[in-house]
Structure 1
Amino acid sequence: MPDIDRERAWLLTVDGAPQSYVDLDDPTYLEFEYARRLGHALDVVAEPGRPLDVLHLGGGALTLPRYVAATRPGSRQHVVEADHGLLDLVAEHLPLPAGAGVTLHADDARAWLEAAPASSADVLVADVFGGSRVPAHLTSLAYAREAGRVLRADGVYLANLADAAPFAFLRSQLATFAEVFDELALIAEPAVLRGRRFGNAVLVAAHRPLDVSPLARRTASDAFPARVEHGPALRDFIGGARPVPDAEAVPSPVPPAGAFGVG
């Protein structure tokens, strides 16, 4: 069940797994490593301060919608969250500021995406976990095509994924999105990419060329340094992985005990 821990500065956990961290006094503060990397990507997808139309699949405590509202005032954001109870809990304890421009939808992420208008979003952020796993129906080629349809020609897809060596899930996701998008990049901690531990990786996909230099600088200089893989190195990482049809889609792997624990 969702729970907000006031002693940990508004840490939201779901079934014991940490989901969101919110600082109501400073919405630009991002605590979790993956959230910081998504924030860096959101910073460089367009010129600083430019309002964007952003679709968030997965709500949590609305950490990233708050971040976009603060860093890109005037943005229009839609958040799709299947857990009605979670939305009610967040609305009661962590209300959005007036004029945030964020609309909440209690719905399944893929169902909502399939009904969304074409070319309606500048950015699509996918951060959907059923407990601690990405649901299978959000990992297939059909889902990736829907994401590509909803994004504008210069739009960017961002996803929080999790895996460990030998990276069967992560490689399959990259192969799947490479079938739909012309450009891919992957942000992850070097230790994760070397197969030393289970961890998060942020997928960046676009129909247009990606200038990864500013993103690489931001992630490398972060308090939790990460590496950006792009181009030939990423193609080598994908190897012989194939796109995933709906019939073969599986959730992301079960994290090992303590992988996302709160210490």
Structure 2
Amino acid sequence: MPTSLAVAELQVRDGGVLLLLDGTESSWIDLGDPTHLDFEYHQQMDAALGALWGEGRLRAVHLGGAGCALARAWDASRPGSTQTAVEVDAVLADRVRQWFDLPRSPRLRIRVGDAAQVVLHLRGGQWDVVVRDVFAAGRVPPRCATTQFLAACRAALAPRGLYLANVACPPRERAGADLARTREIFGGVLVVGDAAVVRGRRPGNLVVVARAEPLTPREAQAVERAVRRLPLPVRTWEAHDPALPQG
């Protein structure tokens, strides 16, 4: 079925619904358990958040909405949270509310707009978590990986707030440039991922975990332990590790 910018397809299987946009897997919604996250990078973001933020409600903005699987999971696991998803595709933003049992406003607001523009107008210091999960044709749009964009994400965060970003790899050069700009803006940066993806041996996703101030060794170790306990264990890298993609 057509949306504003793509063709959406829903595949029902294994107790959930897979949303594809132009043939690319975009979101997985577990119909029975909203806390179940099927995509590995969602699991990694959730694990990092738990390690650094702990339990309890939060204020989160998701730059890139699609099926809002991560926001739906956090609403269920962190009652009292308030979240906003920014989705550029107006028809998709309307239809996901029809298709899925998403939380209503004010628990989850879906705002139609270009993330690169919306982020510039987020109220400073308002958000505990900013998630960047914006893709077009399988890549992060360049306008969502600029120093201006990243600086706006940092400005939107509350003290000790977290920036969580989904980075496609390959292309390694683009992923490396994204990481380099993130290091310029944020004082503390970790990269979570499978070693084969980090080293370019297979395609996949990397998760960037960042905040304004540096992470302590204990905090970095807590993230490492959390992601190693996932169903598909991964590991972390410090921001300047030479094994990471370089820009």
Normalised TM-score (structure 2):
0.90
Aligned match of 2:17 in 10, 32, 49? 10
Counterpart of 1:200 (choices 182, 200, 205) is 205
Post-superposition offset of 1:146: 0.8
Q: Distance in 2 between matches of 1:224 and 1:76?
A: 29
The offset of 1:84, in angstroms, is 1.0
Q: Is the Cα contact below 8 Å between 1:172 and 1:238 reproduced in 2?
A: no
Write out per-residue CA displacement over residues 86-110 of structure 1, whole angstroms, 9 at most, x where no aligned residue.
Answer: 1122111103145771111011101
2:54 is matched with which residue? Answer: 47
- Alignment partner for residue 34 of structure 1, among 38, 41, 44? 41
Q: CA RMSD in A?
A: 1.8
**Structure 1 gaps, min length 5:** 242-263
User: How has the CA–CA distance of structure 1 residues 3 and 182 changed in structure 2, closer, same or farther, with 3 Å as cutoff?
Assistant: same
Q: State how far apart, in whole Å, the 2-side matches of 1:151 and 1:75 are.
A: 15
Query: Partners in 1 of 2:105 and 2:163 — Cα distance?
Result: 25
Q: How does 1:52-67 map to 2 (within 5 A)?
A: 52-67=58-73
**Are the structure 2 counterparts of residues 240 and 202 from structure 1 closer, same or farther at C-alpha, using a change threshold of 3 Å?**
closer
Instruction: Name the counterpart of 2:80.
Output: 74
1:172 aligns with 2:177: yes
Following TM superposition, by how much is the alpha carbon of 1:214 offset from its aligned partner in structure 2, in angstroms?
Answer: 2.0
Distance 1:3 1:229 in 2: 36
Structure 1 pair 240–99 and aligned structure 2 pair: CA distance change class (3 A): closer
- In the TM superposition, what is the alpha-carbon distance from 1:237 to its structure 2 partner? 4.2
2:164 partner amino acid: L
Counterparts of 1:239 and 1:83 in 2: how far apart (Å)? 31
Query: Which residue in 1 is equivalent to 2:133?
Result: 127
- Alignment: residue pair count: 237
Question: Deviations for 1:26-58, whole angstroms, at most 9, x for unmatched residues?
Answer: 11111111111112122223121x211101001
The equivalent residue for 1:103 is 109
Partners of 2:246 and 2:236 lie apart in 1 by 21
Contact 2:75–2:103 (Cα < 8 Å) also in 1: no
Matched, 1:136 2:107: no
Q: Which has the larger share of strand?
A: 2
Counterpart of 1:256 in structure 2 is none
Q: 1:239 to 1:94 in 2, by over 3 A?
A: closer
C-alpha distance in structure 1 between counterparts of 2:193 and 2:245, whole Å: 18
Identity of aligned residues (%): 32
- Cα-to-partner distance string for 1:91-135 (whole Å, 9 max, x where unaligned): 111031457711110111011111111111111001011131111
SS in 2 for 1:202: strand
Say if 1:12 and 1:19, in contact at 8 Å, map to a contact too.
yes
**CA contact under 8 A between 2:198 and 2:243: conserved in structure 1?**
no
The 8 Å contact of residues 79 and 104 in structure 1, kept in 2 or not, is answered as yes
**Cα separation, partners in 2 of 1:97 and 1:150, compared to 1, 3 Å:** closer
Query: Could you tell me the TM-score, scaled by structure 1's length?
Result: 0.85
Gaps of 5+ in 2: 1-6
Q: Are 1:187 and 2:195 counterparts?
A: no
2:232 counterpart of 1:224: yes
CA offsets, 1:56-105, max 9 Å, x none?
00111110101111111111111100011211221111031457711110
Q: Whole-Å Cα distance in 2 between the matches of residues 136 and 151 of structure 1?
A: 22
Partner Cα distance (1:12, 1:102) in 2 = 19
Q: 1:70 to 1:239 in 2, by over 3 A?
A: closer
Given that 1:163 and 1:198 are in contact with CA atoms closer than 8 Å, whether structure 2 keeps it comes out as: yes
